Structures are given as structure tokens and as C-alpha cells.
């Protein structure tokens, strides 16, 4: 999944109720080629 910006990604996580601890691996996965 790709996000337009970190701001949108943060809002997306907040809507899902994802914790910061779970956000880090999600960001690394989405940024990896």
C-alpha cells in the first residue's frame, strides 16, 4: 500500500487505531522497494 504523504498515513493509522509501535514496521514495509 502506498500513501500520498506521512500526514495521510498518520490519519490512516489513527482511523484504524494503530499504535505507534505498530506504525514503525508498517512505514518500513511501505517504504521498502
| Domain of residue 23, residue span | 1-33
Structural domains counted in the chain: 1
Burial of 8 (0-12, 13-18, 19+ CB in 10 A): exposed
pLDDT of res. 7: 85
**For residue 5, what are the CA distances in angstroms to 9, 16, 18?**
6, 17, 17
pLDDT of res. 25: 75
pLDDT digits (tens, 9 = 90+) for 1-33: 555 688 887 887 688 776 666 767 777 777 776
pLDDT of res. 5: 81
pLDDT of res. 30: 74
pLDDT of res. 2: 58
pLDDT of res. 33: 67
Amino acid at each position: 500500500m502506498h500513501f500520498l504523504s506521512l500526514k495521510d498515513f498518520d490519519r490512516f493509522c489513527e482511523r484504524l487505531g494503530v499504535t505507534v509501535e505498530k506504525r514503525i514496521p508498517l512505514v518500513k514495509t511501505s517504504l521498502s522497494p
